[in-house]
Amino acid sequence: MQLGFLGLGHMGLAIASNLLAAGHHVRAWNRSQEPLARLQAKGAEIVKEPVDALQGDALFSMLANDDAVRSVLIDSGALAQARKGLIHVNMATISVALAEELAVLHDRLGLAYVAAPVFGRPEAAASAKLHIVVAGAPSPVASIEPVLAALGQKIWPVGSEPKAANIVKIAGNFMIASMIETIGEAAALVQGHGVTAADFLDVMTNSLFAAPAYKTYGDLIARAQFEPAGFKLTLGLKDVRLALAAGEAAHVPLPLGSLLRDNFLDCIAHGESDKDWSALAGVAARRAGLDERDEKRPIA
């Protein structure tokens, strides 16, 4: 297929590489040059302007956030000049509000719009192990599914309204952040009674909670290993904000979401903006004064 690709961050670069490996022609654009050169070495065609990536069969985009999507696709006029019939596959984590706006806009412009956010860290993207949540009109989704198959271990269709995929992604990230908070409080509780976080999490992540997310984060938290960041704490706050905003739009109170937000701010106020979002788990220990009770005990 003739594909365009916008946004070559860690995730985007890995995904675009897999599209090339699957035999597609890829016209790529990115704000900074460095990743473009790397993708060019794998066979991509580099284009000057975003709009040049919107002239093929489909456009894949993995832009950083709502503002980047607005700036690169809408305000630039790129979308308005896209080839009629283009299928836009938006893999970014964006707000439900923007998802709704984009669905209307594409429809008006005669373009197909498919939301396809993913679960998985950059390593999973590189090894095509992503979980891809897909939503959009049946026909473009059917066209694009074979392409997505080269990018992940499983595709999860969740309906014909694009925003459905976005709310699933947002709610999923909310669940991860909630898990981190849960582990943080539980670990502080056992530490307060003389059991190490490592011993406790060894039990939990090998019994009831023997799941990928618990093992990955449980290990980081037990070792208080919050740097370098796999997913930055400020991005975690951004995603919780998306959950709260989506909740507000549908008047769904999310008290746990509110707690996450407050605790992310607590982290930022304590200089942890650039740490991994699993540093959230340290708030409970800090508030309990556990970090000061015994120097040799890890924070969480």
Q: Known catalytic residues?
A: 169
Smallest distance from a second copy to CB 229, Å: 18
Binding string, residues 153-182; x marks residues near a second copy by CB under 8 A:
-x-x-xx-x-xx--xx-xxx-xxx-xx-xx
Distant-in-sequence, close-in-space partners of 127: CB < 8 Å, separation ≥ 6: none
Which of 5, 263, 275, 298 is in the footprint of a second copy by CB under 8 A?
263
Which structure tokens are listed for 164?
């459905």
Cα separations in angstroms, 30 against 50, 61, 63, 98, 143:
8, 10, 9, 21, 25
Q: Which stretch binds a second copy (CB under 8 A): 8-16, 27-35, 224-232, 263-271?
A: 263-271
Smallest distance from a second copy to CB 242, Å: 10
Cα separations in angstroms, 35 against 13, 24, 27, 28, 39:
7, 18, 13, 10, 6
Which of 32, 228, 255, 294 is in the footprint of a second copy by CB under 8 A?
255
Phi, psi dihedrals of residue 197, rounded to the nearest 5°: -60, -40
Which of 46, 105, 189, 235 is in the footprint of a second copy by CB under 8 A?
189
List the interface residues with a second copy, window 113-142 (CB under 8 A).
Answer: 119, 131, 133
* Residue among 108 and 251 whose Cβ is closer to a second copy: 251
**DSSP conformation letters of 45-65:** EE-SSGGGGGSSSEEEE--SS
Please tell me whether residue 206 binds a second copy under the rule CB under 8 A. Answer: yes
Q: Which stretch binds a second copy (CB under 8 A): 19-27, 76-84, 105-113, 204-212?
A: 204-212
**Spacing of C-alpha 139 from chain mean position:** 26
Place of tokens 């106020």: 269
